[in-house]
């Protein structure tokens, strides 16, 4: 039985082996991924991101627990977690995180957790994450959570892989954090104020509402006979119909408070995507982004095979000596010309 | 007079115009950059990065002020600041930040501040930042500070542009932040604990020392006749000679406390780079990284011009229909072949 078939048959060991092959960019992994790809497109992908210190991992654990132990009458769902961890090798952060998780969710065959280290080069992380997600999708996991630590561009790119994106905040993380939020708010479907038992939760929520209003105005101020008036933005129109105004929810992940409500909000967003057809649009964007990243990586590696090391070194030396500019260096290297 | 010559002659208006042209990737900007490149390589580049909420901007303002108003006997230096800001357009974070700065440093012809929005595509930010820095360098600014908000990979890439990298921390930003620190510690030359008048400063400093010891061991544990012993790592040897153990300094940027000591530490690091020859190594790495990013961007844009929109759309549709896998799609698009 091929590795791909073993994964389709639900063999966990085969699944783990394939994930490693993909992370290490082995040709066998790529082949299996090609075989599995037709079976993808069924899972609901949830991105969880936010600044450090917000308690994302605890929240993800609780979410997983809730999907595995739903209230009576709600079907249980299988869940995979891809935790993208920017820790460097020497801290072992990823391993520790997994160990804490394993205690909660271990022994449950409906759960699979995989950590990915976020080292690696330019644009390398998002495609690898996309591939892992595809494997879990083909393997039949119904919910896939992509968790990223941090709030940089790489994290935003990864969050874009998801159908439903949760941005996690917490009280008391400083004011400058607002700057970060602005960028990340644009990708948020649900805003979670975790650690909501801490002082300052009202301030955090108010700040988020303020930013949401800027991003998704539900009212607009006009001048009427010289007086300022506030009128609602019209609700009709094709754009408005497809418009999801992000929800703000409070949780205390360590206690499980607010988690059932969060799960309900995720399901509402899932319905919204299905009804409006936005799910297909998101899938399309996601696959297109993945395609473009792969093309970029391929173009670079093909070019590297073509250019001679000697020529490359010569051009680099001229650049360092300031004899040619970076743009001139690119021209020489790509057009195979001589140094000017 | 050409734009490049006007910049070399110290015309601020020409400088501002060129910076805009480069940010907008205009051909005229690229030409001028090529003319200016031989005049680069003289400035000392300082990267300032760290998690949100640490007060980086205030610290950068204070540093600038100190370089402009040095103690008696120390020469005054000109300073440019490139603030890379991940705020999205609608918040106006960058503009507000500039306004606060302008109050402190306005009217001083020896200071130039430029904000860059951190939207923009994959790998696009670092090359643009590198180009702005080159313009300031050629224009004769002696110190260039590259300030980034956040702690993601993009920020690390930008910080790598610098000769001396400051990583700014602050007490009370949570525990999970440790995970972020680990990655960023590897690039830190000086660790600044800002807001050092806040409670918890000892804990923050202790945590940083702990992580530094992991990254830069000054002692090692050995087994000797069955007993654990701690011996110092030998100080001799070529590697050790070039080894800079990051400094940890406390500041209260709003009060200016610790800023003179920080400036002294920056100068020490500058001397260290000069004496060891590491400055040349860093310049080399920086230019090589820039070259590779430019090549990547060029390869993609050249490929885009070659492929027909119709073919691209067809392949994308097959991908979305799960008829071909992403890797198969890449093969079709790059080898100009037919759909399998």
> Quick check: is A311 in a domain?
yes
Confidence at residue A155, expressed as pLDDT on a 0 to 100 scale = 63
The answer to whether the Cβ–Cβ distance between A53 and B303 falls below 8 Å is: no
Model pLDDT, residue A217 = 58
Tokens standing for B246? 């990051």
DSSP letters, B140-209, are T-SEEEEEE-B-SHHHHHHHTT-SEEEEEE-TTS-STHHHHHHHHHTT-SEEEE-STTSTTHHHHHHHHH
Q: Does B123 touch chain A (CB under 8 A)?
A: yes
Same domain (yes/no): B224, B319: no
Say which residue the tokens 């890797």 belong to: B327
pLDDT at residue A340 in the model: 45
Binary contact (A41, B322; C-beta < 8 A): yes
Residue of chain A with shortest Cα separation from B29: A327
CATH number at residue B271: 3.40.50.300
B307 part of contact set with chain A, CB < 8 Å: no
**pLDDT by residue (tens digit) across B163-186?**
999 988 888 765 444 444 555 667
Q: Which residues of B touch A298 (CB under 8 A)?
A: 330, 334
B291, A215: Cβ pair inside 8 Å? Answer: no
For residue A128, being part of any structural domain is answered with yes
Q: What is the CA angle A265-A270-A274, rounded to 5?
A: 145
Residue B284 lies in a domain: yes
Nearest C-alpha in A relative to B181? A87
B294–chain A Cβ distance below 8 A for any pair: yes
Q: Do B295 and A300 touch (CB under 8 A)?
A: yes
Which of B30, B326, B328 to mutate to test binding with chain A, by most A CBs within 10 Å of its CB? B326
Same domain, yes or no: B252 and B330: no
Contact between chains at B87 and A183 (C-beta distance less than 8 A)? yes
Is the CB of residue B236 less than 8 Å away from at least one CB of chain A?
Answer: no
User: B300–A296: do the CB atoms touch at under 8 Å?
Assistant: yes
Same domain, B162 and B271: yes
Best B123, B152, B172 member to test A by mutation, with max A CBs in 10 Å, is: B152
**B285 lies within 8 A of chain A by CB:** no
Average pLDDT, chain B: 80
Check: pTM over 0.80? Answer yes or no. Answer: no
- Write down the ipTM of this complex: 0.76
Q: Which domain holds residue A175?
A: 40-301
What CA–CA distances, in Å, run from A239 to A209, A217, A281?
21, 13, 14
Task: Please give the interface size between A and B, counted as residue pairs whose CB atoms are below 8 Å apart.
Answer: 239
Q: If pLDDT is split at 50, 70 and 90, which confidence band does B47 have?
A: very high
Judge whether A100 is closer than 8 Å to chain B, CB to CB: no
How far apart are alpha carbons A71 and A55 in whole angstroms? Answer: 24
Q: How far apart (Å, rounded) are the C-alpha atoms in residues A153 and A293?
A: 14
Overall size of chain B counted in residues: 340
Q: Which pLDDT belongs to residue B187?
A: 78
> Tell me, what's the pLDDT at B84?
79
Does residue A3 lie within any of the structural domains? no
Nearest Cβ partner for B299 among A85, A303, A328: A303
d(CA A76, CA B49): 44
CB-based contact (8 Å) between B149 and chain A? yes
CB contact, 8 Å: A222 with chain B? Answer: no
Which residue on chain A is closest to B323 by alpha carbon?
A38
Q: What is the pLDDT of residue B52?
A: 67
Nearest CA in chain B to A211: B91
Q: Is A296 on the interface with B (CB under 8 A)?
A: yes
Strands (E), B186-317: 190-193, 219-224, 227-232, 247-250
B151 chain-A contacts, CB cut-off 8 A? 52, 150-152
CB within 8 Å: A153 and B152: yes
Query: Quick one: A316 and A215 in the same domain?
Result: no
Whether the CB of A215 is below 8 Å from some CB of chain B: the reply is yes
For residue A210, the chain B residue with the least C-alpha distance is B91
B315 and B222 within one domain: no
> Angle at the Cα of B98 (from B93 to B99), degrees rounded to 5?
100
Q: Give the whole-angstrom CA distance, residue B247 versus residue B45.
A: 18
Q: Is residue B18 part of a domain?
A: no
Q: What is the pLDDT of residue A101?
A: 55
Distance from CA of A74 to the nearest CA of B (A): 31
Q: pLDDT tens digits for B193-248?
A: 999 999 889 888 887 887 777 666 554 444 444 455 454 544 443 344 567 888 99
The two tokens of residue A229 are: 């008036």
d(CA B122, CA B192): 30
Distances (CA, A) of B81 to B110, B117, B311: 11, 14, 45
If asked whether residues A321 and A241 sit together in one domain, one would say no
- In tens, the pLDDT along A290-305 reads 898 889 888 988 998 8
A73/chain B closest Cα distance in angstroms: 34
Does some domain include residue B72? yes
Say if residue A239 is in the same domain as residue A317.
no
Name the band, by pLDDT with cuts 50, 70 and 90, for residue B94.
Answer: very low
pLDDT of the residue at B242: 67
Residue B222 is given by DSSP the state E
Residues A89 and A205 in one domain: yes
Domain count across chain A: 2
Residues B296 and B314 in one domain: no
d(CA B112, CA B100): 14
Q: What is the pLDDT of residue A271?
A: 93
To probe the interface with A, which of B130, B277, B287, B295 has the most A CB atoms within 10 Å?
B295
Q: What is the pLDDT along chain A (340 residues), one digit of tens a residue?
A: 899 999 999 999 999 999 999 988 889 998 999 999 999 999 999 999 877 678 888 899 999 999 999 999 999 999 999 987 654 333 333 434 444 555 567 778 899 988 876 554 344 566 788 899 999 999 999 999 998 865 555 566 666 789 999 988 888 765 444 444 555 667 789 999 999 999 889 888 887 887 777 666 554 444 444 444 454 544 443 344 567 888 999 999 989 999 999 999 999 999 999 999 999 988 998 898 889 888 988 898 899 888 889 999 999 999 999 999 998 999 999 986 544 4
- Measured between CB atoms, does B153 come within 8 Å of chain A? yes
Q: Is B15 inside a domain boundary?
A: no
Contact with chain B for residue A333, Cβ under 8 A: yes
Asked if A71 has any chain B CB less than 8 Å from its own CB, the reply is no
What value does the mean pLDDT take over residues B247-253? 95
Residue B22 lies in a domain: no
Nearest 5°: the CA angle A19, A21, A23 is 70
* Mean pLDDT for the stretch of residues B47-69: 87
Tokens of B12: 């601020």
Q: What is the pLDDT of residue B214?
A: 66
CA dihedral B265, B267, B269, B272 (to 10 degrees): -130
In this structure, the answer to whether residues A113 and A211 fall within a common structural domain is yes
Interface check B175 vs A, CB under 8 A: yes
In this structure, are A329 and A201 located in the same domain? no
Q: Which of A123, A185, A326 sits opposite B290 (nearest CB)?
A: A326
Whether residues A247 and A320 share a domain: the answer is no
Look up residue B18 and give its two tokens: 């060129």
């Amino acid at each position: 039985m091929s590795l791909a078939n073993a994964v389709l048959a639900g063999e966990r060991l085969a699944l783990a082996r394939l994930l490693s092959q993909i992370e290490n960019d082995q040709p066998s992994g790529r082949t299996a991924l090609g075989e599995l790809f037709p079976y993808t497109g069924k899972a609901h992908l949830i991105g969880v991101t936010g600044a450090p210190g917000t308690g994302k991992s605890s929240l993800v654990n609780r979410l997983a627990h809730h999907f595995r132990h739903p209230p009576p009458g709600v079907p249980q769902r299988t869940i995979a977690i891809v935790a993208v961890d920017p820790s460097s090798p020497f801290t072992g952060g990823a391993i520790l995180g997994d160990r804490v998780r394993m205690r909660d969710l271990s022994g449950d065959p409906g759960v699979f957790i995989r950590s990915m280290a976020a080292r690696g080069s330019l644009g390398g992380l998002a495609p690898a994450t996309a591939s892992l997600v595809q494997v879990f999708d083909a393997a039949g996991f119904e919910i896939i959570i992509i968790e990223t630590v941090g709030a940089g561009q790489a994290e935003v790119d990864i969050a874009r892989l998801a159908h439903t994106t949760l941005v996690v905040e917490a009280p008391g993380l400083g004011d400058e954090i607002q700057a970060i939020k602005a960028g990340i708010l644009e990708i948020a479907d649900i805003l979670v104020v975790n650690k909501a038992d801490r002082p300052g939760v009202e301030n955090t929520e108010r700040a988020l509402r303020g930013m949401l209003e800027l991003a998704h105005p539900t009212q607009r101020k006009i001048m009427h006979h010289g007086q300022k008036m506030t009128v609602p933005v019209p609700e009709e129109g094709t754009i408005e119909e497809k418009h999801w105004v992000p929800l703000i929810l409070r949780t205390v992940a360590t206690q499980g408070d607010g988690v059932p409500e969060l799960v309900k909000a995720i399901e509402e967003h899932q319905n919204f995507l299905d009804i409006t057809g936005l799910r297909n649009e998101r899938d399309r964007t996601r696959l297109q982004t993945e395609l473009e990243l792969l093309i970029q990586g391929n173009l670079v590696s093909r070019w590297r095979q073509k250019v001679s090391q000697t020529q490359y070194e010569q051009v680099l030396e001229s650049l360092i000596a300031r004899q040619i500019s970076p743009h001139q260096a690119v021209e020489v290297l790509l057009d195979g010309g001589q140094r000017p």
